[in-house]
Amino acid sequence: MAEEIIIEVNNLTKYFPVSRGLFRQKKIAEVKAVDGVSFAIHSGETLGLVGESGCGKTTLGKCMVQLYRPTSGEIIFEGKDLCRLSDKELRPFRQKLQVVFQDPYDSLNPRFTAMDIIGEPLRIHNIAKGKEYQERVAELLRLVGLAPYMAERYPHEFSGGQRQRLGVARALALQPRFIMCDEPLSALDVSIQAQIINLLDDLQEKFGVAYLFISHDLSVVRHISDRVAVMYLGKIVEIANRDELYKNPLHPYTQALLSAVPIPDPEVEMKRQIIVLKGEVPSPMNPPSGCVFHPRCYRAFADCSQTIPLLEDVGNNHHVACLLYNQSRP
């Protein structure tokens, strides 16, 4: 893995205003969807981002490709802070930052043919025309395991797995350096998921593109990621190399998440102890004081409701935001 950092996120926040009133809208609160997040992704690397729905993982991903403009913080890409660029200045960067969306049924225009869908980025950025354009689309189709003769078909003529391949082809059209994959498998059947995972793996090897792989499926994330970040209520609570995180999860939330994943083997399941967390994820409009996880934590102590734990290195490039570990150090 190359050590070159391709995209760096520094202290990023994204707050959504909550307003009341029909005509004179008044801001009454804020949803802190992403609240002070920092990390970096290296070229050709996959960072897995896991967490429950509403924890801010999609918002974070959308900020990184500037589909949302963050409230504060920095996103450094090719030496520039994307957050400070105007829409016009951003345009050349958008080619290099692409997205594969969650639901291939919603994210493909039903009135476009496969060629229109895959070729749209090429048209918008004036990259190819005429015969070259058609050849490029055919090549992209082949690249994702579809046949060039399918270019004239509409999305409804494709199966779910094939549609997601179209989504991948579209993202690849401009030869990006970074692709944000937002739950690209969750709308697909188990037997099809493996096909898309292998496709993403192959393309990364071929083009050296970096992925942010957002998912709630921890087994899939382990398979595809080099490093994994765990998010809870707008914050990263743990981030480490894949093997380190799965072998030695430190944050109680990560431990609970891992134990909640059922393993497809009845014998293993019979012997397994699972940690069932109490309650549900609190509202990000009114997050708990101190550590945001403390009301559900089975290892919480008095200080947890007072002190906000910081994401600290505990060695081995393993960062965790939990007072259990911050205190144990001298």
83 contacts 73 by C-beta, under 8 angstroms: yes
User: Could you give phi then psi for residue 290, rounded to 5 degrees?
Assistant: 60, -135
Which of 115, 258, 304, 322 is the binder for another protein (CB under 8 A)?
Answer: 258
Q: Does 257 sit near another protein (CB under 8 A)?
A: yes
- Please report the DSSP string for 314-326 in residue order: -STT-EE--HHHH
Among candidates 278, 270, 273, which has minimal Cα distance to 253? 278
Buried b (16+ CB within 10 A) or exposed e, 200-223: beebbeeeebbbbbbbbbbebbbb
Q: Does 313 sit near another protein (CB under 8 A)?
A: no
End-to-end CA distance of the chain: 34
Compose the 35-54 pattern: x for residues touching another protein by CB under 8 A, - for all others. -----------------xx-
Q: Does 281 sit near another protein (CB under 8 A)?
A: yes
Q: Does 191 sit near another protein (CB under 8 A)?
A: yes
Which of 9, 114, 220, 237 is the binder for another protein (CB under 8 A)?
Answer: 220
Compose the 153-172 pattern: x for residues touching another protein by CB under 8 A, - for all others. ------x-x-----------
Which residue matches tokens 């893995």?
Answer: 1
Q: Does 18 sit near another protein (CB under 8 A)?
A: no
Query: CB under 8 A: which stretch of 80-88, 101-109, 122-130, 257-265 binds another protein?
Result: 257-265
Q: Does 302 sit near another protein (CB under 8 A)?
A: no
Cβ at position 58, least distance to another protein in Å: 14
Residue 269 CB contacts under 8 Å (≥ 6 apart), including other chains: 262, 263
Q: Which residue type, as a one-letter code, is found at position 215?
A: S
Q: Does 222 sit near another protein (CB under 8 A)?
A: yes
Measured from the CB atom, the residue of 132 and 202 that comes closer to another protein is: 202
Q: How many residues bind another protein (CB under 8 A)?
A: 42
Measured from the CB atom, the residue of 127 and 192 that comes closer to another protein is: 192
Query: CB under 8 A: which stretch of 41-49, 149-157, 238-246, 300-308 binds another protein?
Result: 238-246
Cβ at position 78, least distance to another protein in Å: 31
Q: How far apart are CA 229 and CA 243, in angstroms?
A: 12
Buried b (16+ CB within 10 A) or exposed e, 279-305: eebeebeebeebbbbbbbbeebeeebe
Cβ at position 292, least distance to another protein in Å: 14
* Alpha helix stretches (DSSP H) within the chain: 57-64, 87-94, 114-124, 130-143, 160-172, 190-207, 218-224, 242-247, 252-260, 266-271, 323-328
Q: Does 267 sit near another protein (CB under 8 A)?
A: yes
Q: How far apart are CA 15 and CA 35, in angstroms?
A: 8
Q: Does 189 sit near another protein (CB under 8 A)?
A: yes
Measured from the CB atom, the residue of 177 and 235 that comes closer to another protein is: 235
Q: Does 150 sit near another protein (CB under 8 A)?
A: no
**Binding residues vs another protein (CB under 8 A):** 52-53, 159, 161, 189-195, 197-198, 201, 216, 218-220, 222-223, 242-243, 246, 256-269, 274, 276-277, 280-281
